[in-house]
Structure 1
Amino acid sequence: MQTTNLSSARNACINSSRFKTEQEFREQITKDELTVGIFTTTWCPDCKRLGMFIEEVTEEHQDKQWFKIDRDEFPGISEEQSVMGIPSLLVFKNNLQVRSLKIKINISNIFVIFT
């Protein structure tokens, strides 16, 4: 699966980099670059609110690859990565989780993950 740096379409990270298989997830997190996973679900109100400003965040951090993964579609991955609350943003590099941010929606908190 190919991910993109996000400078174009609205919410591109949400739509263009959605994993369909566990193997796609595994391949993405092994890369030697920072990759940010947005763990969400379809029923989560905070996940919907995240969609209102995530484009701004991804545009400011185009040096990272972004993907979205539904916690309910991949419960094994979510458990393995200790995703208990949603939305959760996890940062991977070289097959390791290097940062995580489980958030209640507050735009100022989202920037902490990258500082």
Structure 2
Amino acid sequence: MDKLIPLHSLKEFEEAIQNRSIVVFSTEWCPDCLYMKTYIEHIVESNPAYRFYYVNRDDMLDLCIELKILGIPSFVAYDKGEELGRFVSKLRKTEEEVQSFIDSI
């Protein structure tokens, strides 16, 4: 997940969402998050209109609770600080489903 820009603080998150961005909420231990690693770099490369960021849910749990990010991995799109859309569920997400979400924004 080298192509995702890690966010470590609320300030970094607030700055990141001012751009046309997609924030990926994930963890190191989640099997579905590990599966996402098989395709996330291709997703980033295929969508240059967005900057992609990574939030470790365990490190920023309060933010995730505030945003109602209950399942991981989850994808939330932003522009100018406003949420454009979200793909949040407790189910494993495929590359096709993630790309379809991005295409729908």
Post-superposition shift, 1:13?
Answer: 2.1
What corresponds to 1:76 in structure 2? 62
CA distance in 2, matches of 1:51, 1:12: 10
In percent, how many aligned pairs have the same letter? 21
Number of equivalences: 101
Mapped pair 1:105 → 2:100: no
Mapped pair 1:58 → 2:44: yes
CA distance in 1, matches of 2:66, 2:18: 15
2:7 pairs with one of 5, 19, 22: 19
CA distance in 2, matches of 1:27, 1:105: 27
Deviation digits for residues 44-85 of structure 1 (CA, Å, limit 9, x no counterpart): 001011011111111100111011001111011111211010
What corresponds to 2:80 in structure 1? 94
CA distance in 1, matches of 2:6, 2:27: 12
So what's the TM-score if we normalise by structure 2? 0.88
Give the conservation status (yes or no) of the 8 Å contact 1:40–1:71. Answer: yes
Instruction: List alignment gaps of at least 5 residues for structure 1.
Output: 1-10
So what's the TM-score if we normalise by structure 1? 0.81
**CA RMSD in angstroms, aligned pairs only:** 1.3
Post-superposition shift, 1:30?
Answer: 2.1
CA distance in 2, matches of 1:79, 1:98: 19
CA distance in 2, matches of 1:101, 1:67: 15
Secondary structure of 1:85's match? coil
